[in-house]
Copies of this chain bind each other. A is one copy, B any other.
């Protein structure tokens, strides 16, 4: 089994190192990841400057084939599959992200976009995030990633779908189960803080607090609140099929 690992926190982040350690016990691992933090890049790709991939040594295993790329997580997956790797991976894992990727926020997520890029290339994928930001312990999530990789390759996934996994930042004993969920809805309040620079010109910092709009059952947000691991199957046909008929009745001409 061949696994490609990437992330959006950068190739030297703890989350990808812990994930790599866990997965190399069960598979041949390649690591191709951004050379620095690339969070909140969404599904960006690099068209206007050239990409470079440098062979790097990871601390815990200097012999592991690993490349740092001066691009986005989506670039890393594309470049790995099309140009760098000597063989096609069986599965791609993106993460482990330091912080959650839940609800509407998945739109902004480099971690999730790398997993989407894998599915576009016809390779099953998993996005892994740990909800804890300040003192992350990636060991539970890393172990769970190993289990899930085996399951996905054994059972198969439909070719248009990835699994978005969020692991609560608590001990294994505190976790109450695994929930298969839908995406909740999140929104930010008070999004910008205006300041004035030393030259008298104003600028803005994005700040804002997450507000959960959808408090229904069975969302990724509610699962995390219940101390469960949330697994959300995501696809990327954004068509609103229900609305096609409605719009046809508008009888739009030009």
- Interface residues of chain A, those whose CB is within 8 Å of chain B, are 37, 39-48, 50-53, 74-75, 78-79, 82-83, 104, 106-108, 113, 116, 120, 140, 143-144, 147-148, 151, 155, 157-158, 160-161, 163, 172, 175, 177-178, 180-183, 187, 190-192, 194-195, 201-206, 229, 231-241, 243-244, 247-248, 250, 252-254
Contact = CB atoms under 8 A, between A and B. Distances in A.
Nearest to A186: B120
A52 to B, nearest CB: 5
A227 B104 CA distance: 35
Contact of A47 (B39, B235, B236, B254): B39
Going nearest first, the 9 A-B pairs with the smallest beta carbon separation are: A42-B43, A42-B42, A233-B243, A235-B240, A50-B203, A233-B240, A182-B239, A234-B238, A42-B44
Given A52-B201, A79-B192, A247-B231, A182 B237 contact: yes
B161 A44 contact: no
User: What DSSP secondary structure best describes chain A's contact surface?
Assistant: mixed
Nearest to A178: B252
B243 A43 contact: no
A139 to B, nearest CB: 12
20 contacts: A39-B47, A40-B48, A43-B107, A50-B204, A51-B204, A51-B206, A78-B192, A82-B190, A83-B194, A106-B238, A107-B113, A148-B252, A172-B254, A175-B254, A177-B254, A180-B248, A180-B252, A183-B238, A183-B239, A235-B238
